[in-house]
Amino acid sequence: MLSPETDAGTAKPAAAWSTSVGLGGGVLRSIHIGELPLEAGGALPSVTMAFECWGTLNEAGDNAVLIQHALTGSTHVSRGDSEEDGWWEGLVGPGEVIDTDKFFVVCANMLGGCYGTTGPSSVAADGRPYGSRFPFVTIRDSVEAEARLADRLGISSWYAVIGGSMGGARALEWAASHPDRVRRCAVVASCAASTAEQIAFAQAQVLAIRQDPNFAGGDYYDGAPPTLGLGLARRIAHITYRSEEEMGGRFGRDAQDGATISHGRLEAPGDSRYKVESYLDHQAHKLVGRFDANSYIAITEALMSHDVARGRGTLEEALAETAGVEFVVAAVNSDRLYFPAQSEELAAALPGQVPVARIDSPIGHDGFLTEVAAVGGLLKESFFRD
Amino acid sequence: MLSPETDAGTAKPAAAWSTSVGLGGGVLRSIHIGELPLEAGGALPSVTMAFECWGTLNEAGDNAVLIQHALTGSTHVSRGDSEEDGWWEGLVGPGEVIDTDKFFVVCANMLGGCYGTTGPSSVAADGRPYGSRFPFVTIRDSVEAEARLADRLGISSWYAVIGGSMGGARALEWAASHPDRVRRCAVVASCAASTAEQIAFAQAQVLAIRQDPNFAGGDYYDGAPPTLGLGLARRIAHITYRSEEEMGGRFGRDAQDGATISHGRLEAPGDSRYKVESYLDHQAHKLVGRFDANSYIAITEALMSHDVARGRGTLEEALAETAGVEFVVAAVNSDRLYFPAQSEELAAALPGQVPVARIDSPIGHDGFLTEVAAVGGLLKESFFRD
């Protein structure tokens, strides 16, 4: 891994950089980008951006693709040289839709995250984790940090920036903030601005964590973390990620032990679980084991703040500068967190005629993750036809 | 109010009972119904049913209407002689759709509730509140308790049983459990059985309370109640009670102080609130001031258990005995907690041809409460044509 110290200098020529360090795909790396001014005022004094990459940046530095992860996503889009499948496995690799024999693919951990980029669990200048001292950051702040990472990597403009859900918000913000550095932009299962309902569900999640006594105002790193609160936040979120039909079809009213729920619940009150409860327990447990609660709050609040038009006039005005960007906007037909109508609203506000592609999935919002073949097909017929 | 002691005896003749105590409308009353065996096994040793009533039971005892409240509803359907408007104000009264010059209207607090009926906050035989000792009760248990209340009141069969949301579940369970005692049944914005998604959202709410350290396993009556947990449960629930369009139209991304949310949130991180957050805070605050957390859990778990077909074969078989009951099934078109499809499924399983009436409202599930005129119109053209 590149250490912050060795990499804190000026950007190196791209091809030389990527060649010189012999990048293996799918392995976490990090680069120090220095002080980052924040949209809310103030600055983060010393920011490290963590990322993974696959393939090789060409001499012209024009074959780079940025893939943006979702709320609790990591940088691990694809297995690469690692032992672990990525969250969009099969989309990125030699001969795949995003062909790493041709493209240099990057996925950076969002600012405030817990997968290597500076976040609340990072050590501040005084040697202690930021905790409650970590400032409010926005989607726009993360894009600025990612732009500095791109500078360091020698990427002057992206062949494409691609993201789903919060990753879509980040992709869109890239196009609006740096239209000269984004040639293609795919916004999947996302929107131009977080809605009242999305803010409402997000508030419940943030409160679930903050109300956990272990949270200790955010300064819990010396003690037990707020796992119950984070688990509840995940349960709330996960319900919104799935459709009613999907949960009904998979679990119905069945009890975990195979009994009818009446008997299950009635014979052992408090012990017996509906299958859907056990499933949500499992989802909560998995997240708690891999995610920091403060990062969950930081990124959730950043997503609550998402509004590509903030300070830029109307939505159409905010997007007017993106006329040179080729867009793909896609929605999951059964999504009830980022409704297809929000994709339609975004597409209608973009310059030119941008149709909304539909990803058919009964699963709900998470279709952007599970329907890799559909997402791949969409990207292949648009950005990656060759 | 009738005390449990004076009323613990056998049922009195109906008209004599209602006349003798000179019932004023809209005032809380209670009747002791003795020991109640529970569906889960065991029994509640001494149950008091609280209720309000309006109008006068006739000599034949055949003009009684039962209105069933929803999850956090009270017995106070209508102002009557009280100072406070009811939750279906305008529907019940002299000359109203449910004309109290003709009908004797009853609304009973559900078993496990906190509006006077025996629940977790009630004092057990040892002089202390039940708390964690309150047993698991089902919708069916509450209907049995209500049947005993009807016995005491001298009501052999109801002219109509009417309910929305969980009240609809209770109304339906009345028809299935006692088809000979229900002549008409209105099930509004409800379903035949709670779905996986409804159970999932309910689990999150129950956990929010249980994870509040003040909950103390349910035995918090000597200390501070789990208001933060109950407030969070209410926030989660309230989002599901409203449509995305309704929240978007009312609040959008606005900040509470009138600034754009960017400035509001950015200038005072942690202090500034989105309007929708402030709204949900208000909803939480209101409920916490009027509802017991243990009752919230008890009734929510009862609703999770709702399945009119439990132990009765298929849904069609479970409802076959209701052939003599006239049904109204209605759905709110924008309801995304009790989807209209669930009303369709129920109606299709009922004997005979039962159409599903639509209540047009942009508001979502809560339309069953807010669209009193629509509910009234529906009832007037079906059960109360005279």
Mean per-residue pLDDT over chain A, rounded: 91
Which pLDDT score is estimated for B102? Answer: 96
Give the pair of three-digit tokens for residue B142. Answer: 């509450």
Binding residues of A: 234, 366
Averages of pLDDT over each 10 residues, chain B, 386 residues: 36 37 76 95 95 95 97 96 94 96 97 98 97 95 98 96 98 98 98 97 96 96 98 98 95 73 43 84 96 97 95 97 98 97 98 97 97 98 93
Per-residue model confidence (pLDDT) at position A258: 55
CB-closest option in B194, B262, B269 to A253:
B194
Q: What is the pLDDT of residues A212-260, one digit of tens each?
A: 999 999 999 999 999 999 999 999 999 999 999 999 999 998 887 655 4
Q: Quick one: pLDDT at residue B23? A: 62
Query: Residue B280 has what pLDDT?
Result: 95
Mean pLDDT for A307-319 is 96
Long-range CB contacts (< 8 A, 24+ apart) of A314-318? A315/A192, A315/A193, A315/A345, A315/A346, A315/A349, A316/A349, A318/A176
Nearest CA to B286 out of B238, B320, B330 is that of: B238
More confident residue, A273 or B141: B141
The whole-number pLDDT of residue B256 equals 74
Beta carbons of A199 and B277 less than 8 Å apart: yes
B129-146 burial code (b ≥16 CB/10 A, e <16)? bbbeebbbbbbbbbbbbb
Query: What pLDDT, on the 0 to 100 scale, is given for residue B20?
Result: 34
Task: Evaluate the CA torsion angle A254, A258, A261, A264 in order and state its sign.
Answer: negative
Q: Give the pLDDT confidence score for residue B352 in this predicted structure.
A: 94
Judge contact between A164 and A375, C-beta under 8 A: yes
CATH architecture of the domain formed by A14-194+306-382: 3-Layer(aba) Sandwich (3.40)
Contact flag B277-A203 (C-beta cutoff 8 Å): yes
Which pLDDT score is estimated for A5?
Answer: 34
Identify the pLDDT of residue B273: 80
Most A CBs within 10 Å: which of B206, B215, B232, B306, as the mutation test of the A interface? Answer: B232
User: Which sequence spans correspond to the domains of chain A?
Assistant: 14-194+306-382, 198-301
**Lowest-pLDDT range, A204-208, A351-355, B15-19, B317-321?**
B15-19
A–B interface: beta-carbon pairs under 8 A: 160
Q: What is the CATH number of domain B198-301?
A: 1.10.1740.110
CA B94 – CA A298 distance, rounded (Å) = 56
Tell me, what's the pLDDT at A26? 84
Take residue A322 and report the two structure tokens written for it.
């993106």
pLDDT at A250: 94
- In DSSP terms, which residues pair with A32 in a beta bridge? A48
Distance, CA of B11 to chain centre: 25
A239 Cβ under 8 Å from any chain B Cβ: yes
Please name the fold of domain B14-193+307-382. Answer: Rossmann fold (3.40.50)
Residue A280 touches chain B, beta carbons under 8 Å: yes
Q: Is B274 on the interface with A (CB under 8 A)?
A: yes
Looking at residue A267, its pLDDT comes to: 42
CA pair distance A200, B272, nearest whole angstrom? 14
Give dist(CA B145, CA B163) in Å, integer. 17
Chain B residue numbers with beta carbons less than 8 Å from the beta carbon of A138 are: 266
Question: Looking at the partner chain, which of A193, A204, A212 has a beta carbon nearest the beta carbon of B211?
Answer: A212
Convert the pLDDT of each residue in A124-153 to its tens digit.
999 999 999 999 999 999 999 999 999 999
Whether A203 has its CB under 8 Å from any CB of chain B: the answer is yes
